[in-house]
Amino acid sequence: MAKLLKLFTKWLIQWIFAVYYGLIVSFAILCDIIKCGPKTFFHRETRTSRPECMNDPALGTHGFLNLQTGIRIHYVAAGDEDKPLMLFLHGFPECWYSWRYQIKAFKSEYRVVSVDMRGYGESDCPVGMKNYSSRILTDDIRDIISELGYSSCVLVGHDWGGLIAWCVAMEYPELVDKLIINNVAHPDRLAKHIASHWSQFRKSWYIFLFQLPYLPELMLRAKDYSFLKGSFMGKSFGIRTPDMFTLTDLEAMKFSFSQQGAITGAVNYYRSALQTKPLRSKPIKCPTILIWGDKDGALEIEMTKGHDKYVDNFTLKIVEGASHWVQQDFPDKVNRIMSEFLKG
């Protein structure tokens, strides 16, 4: 009975905050429609083909994997196939293109593969938030490694991709030779920090908003996906090195989110995170490095502490002046840190 009461209380709190933030956003949307007009607010460009930057030969070749679950995953690969695999997992709101600087830097030493995660870009976007549980997303990575013809890899993740990379290292340790995480804490550490720090709880308001139907999609599609410009180029959360993220790069992100089902697929990660059972935490044995931009506007740097509890062989590297998008913000520094870690 106590367990049931605890679950109900948790559910009630989540939905109180979801409705609260939903009312605020609904009012903001109404004001925006009045201010800019319905035509501007609901306008979206038609994007039927990749922008040229996504077809840059220096980034590799495009391909698709058909997983045993029936899901088709889009990826871009470069480097010789007889070299070790380095697999890149992006976060929200990104796509495979987020790793463009790392693809170029490591393709001479590795078979580098950057995927569109399930629900993003040119990968399949299955309907229903239950198709985005941590178990399913983790198993996707297991199957991707196998379909690529490898038995293990250097696994690199950022944001949501980092959370899934943590889970892969816990669930399938034999698949991960070394683990490289960018600006996201271990899942348990992240959850505990949000629950115990009001400042981080407020920064994570969108997680509760995303539990609502329809409204998050409406907000994210507004004014031709203008939220992407705010995310990557805005003063609060944006990349702090302007030359590293241009309007051309922004168009690549917009192309990814303009694909059918992609907005809902991305939001479903958050819906599922609060409404499905998380994976049980297990010790991580492989060498692991956490690279963190200290100007992250979304996640507090304090959550980098205490990872020795979860990882036997742990290294932390702070990139001063970098935003949440650390691998795009200061790619030379991040690439150097990664290279030193891989050689160490």
Tokens of 176: 């991960």
| Sheet (strand 72-78) strand order | 61-66, 72-78, 111-115, 85-89, 153-158, 176-182, 288-293, 314-319
The amino acid occupying position 100 is R
Helix axes 160-171, 187-196, angle to 10 degrees: 130
Cite the active site residues: 159, 270, 324
The amino acid occupying position 33 is I
DSSP 281: P
Angle at CA 234, nearest 5°, toward 33 and 247? 90
Q: Which of 126, 66, 62, 67 is nearest to 97 (CA)?
A: 62
Q: What is the DSSP string of 318-335?
A: EETT--S-HHHHSHHHHH
Q: Is 37 helix (H, G, I), strand (E, B) or coil?
A: coil
**Distance in angstroms (rounded) separating the CA atoms of residues 162 and 165:** 5
Contact 191, 204 (CB under 8 A): no
The amino acid occupying position 43 is H
Tokens of 143: 């199957």
Number of C-beta neighbours around residue 17 at 10 A: 17
